[in-house]
């Protein structure tokens, strides 16, 4: 019995795709093709070996996704939904690739674009948009994760120079970055600094033995008497709102991105359920399996609807950080549930790299934690709902 009078896409039950603009559809198709040709053939090996293929940076630049939501300086200047859809398609490949693009565009290029001087923009942004120069974003420290306001990294003035001391931890792209955006306490408050690779007193150490986001470089940044000229500081922002505003940009990409990982898991489970026979019939014919598949399809579509609505708000300049928390919390949590439910449908096969599911599930554990943990987003939403601040004593 056909479930519908006309053919339908199991990953888009409400036909949300039909309302995308020409630009959005083009971005979706371009990035999907890139992932099919350039990410999927290599991802199992990269994940297994724990490497990010750095040569892909320039290819990502060529298809225009680096800083794609920014205007000028070689950036594509596309809409928020287009940016979100690019993140979704990349993360359908692997969260490591979406992470690379999030960090480059939203965490490294965005602060330069929004808070940098004209000279800083001219110097860095065109080469970052092309992928020739890679950036990273150093906010978290060994003892300051969810509470970045307690950071210990300090920048002091010495004549006309700045001297930075401190350690940043868990920094995506750290070991491959040509420039690090480092946030540090100064006598006036928290400020951002552009630290080029090779600056004396600046070193990086990669984190090894990660079992999540293996196809992504994660590093420690060490600043030991790192001397920078006065013009290394971002002139346009002072205080925690500087880094937090960058996080809002990147979290927006994530709330779309994780739906790609979830879609990939759902598709693998759906296909498997139709071909795997037990008790003399496909496991997809059992009611319990169908319940899992139906729930996944419904969650996936609801989350895409939320993402698109938040994207439309962003395009109208109305998206608030709390709304971004709603999307980041809900969509990452649902994506992880979909990955886990898909894994159960694949049985033992689900724990191997023969299928993408366990890789996505492992990646999503990091995504649940970075860019604000689930608890931090719950508390952010809770603060907005109650007017009571759980963070301050």
Give the dihedral sign, CA 244/246/248/251.
negative
Check residue 94 for interaction with ligand TGC (CB under 6 A).
no
Q: Residue for token digits 């994530």?
A: 254
User: For ligand TGC, which is the closer residue by CB, 245 or 349?
Assistant: 245
As a whole number of angstroms, the distance between CA 180 and CA 51 comes to 20
Site membership for ligand TGC, residue 370 (CB under 6 A): yes
Burial of 315 (0-12, 13-18, 19+ CB in 10 A): middle
Q: How far apart are CA 137 and CA 244, in angstroms?
A: 12
Catalytic residue among 23, 249, 371, 375: 371
Residue 221's DSSP bridge partners are 168, 204
140 binds ligand FAD (CB under 6 A): yes
Distance in angstroms (rounded) separating the CA atoms of residues 73 and 179: 17
Q: Tell me whether residue 172 or residue 342 sits nearer to ligand FAD (CB atom).
A: 172
240 contacts ligand TGC (rule: CB under 6 A): yes
State the Rg of the chain over Cα: 21
List, in order, residues 6 or more apart from 87 with CB less than 8 Å away: 98, 101, 102, 253, 254, 256, 257, 260
Question: Which is nearer to ligand FAD, 8 or 391 (by Cβ)?
Answer: 391
> Closest Cα to residue 98, out of 250, 227, 237, 306?
250
172 binds ligand FAD (CB under 6 A): yes
| Binding to ligand FAD in span 210-229, by CB under 6 A | 213, 218
Nearer to ligand FAD, 181 or 226 (CB): 181
Q: Measured from the CB atom, is 84 or 174 closer to ligand FAD?
A: 174
Stretch that binds ligand TGC, among 85-93, 307-315, 356-364, 371-379 (CB under 6 A): 371-379
Determine whether 371 is an active site residue: yes
Least distance between ligand FAD and beta carbon 107 (Å): 6
Nearest CB to ligand TGC, comparing residues 137 and 272:
137
Q: State the sign of the Cα–Cα–Cα–Cα dihedral 266, 269, 274, 278.
A: negative
- Residue 375 binds which one of ligand FAD, ligand TGC, none, with CB within 5 to 8 A depending on kind? ligand FAD
| Window contacting ligand FAD (CB under 6 A); options: 8-16, 140-148, 308-316, 352-360 | 140-148
Q: Which stretch binds ligand FAD (CB under 6 A): 234-242, 276-284, 310-318, 375-383?
A: 375-383
* Contact in structure between 156 and 138 (CB atoms under 8 Å): no
376 interacts with ligand FAD by CB under 6 A? yes
Q: State which of positions 95-154 bind ligand TGC (CB under 6 A).
A: 99, 102-103, 137, 139-140, 146, 148-149
Contact 151, 144 (CB under 8 A): yes
How many CB atoms are located within 10 Å of the residue 22 CB? 7
The dihedrals phi and psi of 227, each to the nearest 5 degrees, come to -95, 130
**Which residue spans within 217-308 are E strands per DSSP?**
218-228, 277-278, 281-282
Applying CB under 6 A, the residues found at the interface with ligand TGC are: 99, 102-103, 137, 139-140, 146, 148-149, 172, 239-241, 244-245, 247-248, 321, 370-372, 376, 380, 391
* Residues noted as catalytic: 371
Applying CB under 6 A, the residues found at the interface with ligand FAD are: 103, 137-140, 145-146, 170-172, 213, 218, 366, 369-370, 373, 375-376, 379, 391
């Amino acid at each position: 019995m056909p479930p519908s009078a006309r053919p339908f896409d199991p990953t888009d039950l409400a036909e949300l795709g039909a309302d995308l603009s020409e630009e959005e559809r083009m971005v979706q198709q371009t990035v999907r093709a890139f992932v099919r040709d350039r990410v999927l053939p290599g991802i199992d090996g990269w994940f297994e070996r724990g490497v990010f293929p750095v040569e892909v940076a320039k290819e990502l630049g060529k298809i225009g996704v680096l800083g794609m939501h920014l205007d000028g300086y070689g950036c594509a200047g596309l809409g928020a939904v287009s940016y979100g859809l690019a993140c979704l398609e990349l993360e359908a490949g692997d969260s490591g690739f979406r992470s690379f693009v999030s960090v480059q565009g939203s965490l490294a290029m965005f602060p330069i674009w929004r808070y940098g001087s004209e000279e800083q923009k001219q110097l860095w942004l065109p080469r970052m948009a092309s992928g020739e120069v890679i950036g990273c974003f150093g906010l978290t420290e060994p003892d300051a994760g969810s509470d970045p306001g307690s950071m210990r990294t300090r920048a002091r003035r010495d004549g006309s120079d700045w001297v930075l001391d401190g350690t940043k931890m868990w920094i995506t792209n750290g070991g491959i970055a040509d420039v690090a955006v480092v946030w540090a306490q100064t006598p006036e408050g928290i400020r951002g600094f552009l630290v080029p690779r090779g600056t004396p007193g600046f070193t990086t150490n990669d984190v090894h033995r990660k079992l999540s986001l293996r196809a992504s470089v994660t590093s420690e940044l060490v600043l030991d008497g790192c001397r920078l000229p006065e013009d290394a500081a971002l002139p346009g922002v002072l205080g925690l709102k500087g880094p937090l505003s960058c996080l809002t940009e990147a979290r927006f990409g994530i709330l779309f991105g994780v739906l790609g990982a979830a879609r990939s898991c759902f598709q693998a489970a759906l296909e498997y359920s139709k071909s795997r026979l037990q008790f003399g019939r496909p496991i997809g014919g059992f009611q319990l399996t169908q319940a899992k598949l139906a729930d996944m399809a419904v969650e996936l579509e609801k989350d895409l609807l939320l993402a698109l609505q938040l994207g439309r708000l962003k395009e109208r300049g109305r998206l608030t950080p709390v709304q971004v928390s709603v999307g980041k919390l809900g969509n990452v949590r649902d994506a992880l549930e979909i990955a886990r439910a898909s894994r159960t449908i694949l049985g033992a096969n689900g724990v191997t790299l023969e299928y993408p599911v366990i890789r996505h599930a492992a990646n999503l554990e990091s995504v649940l934690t970075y860019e604000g943990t689930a608890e931090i987003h719950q508390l952010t939403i809770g603060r907005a709902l109650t007017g009571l601040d759980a963070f301050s004593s």
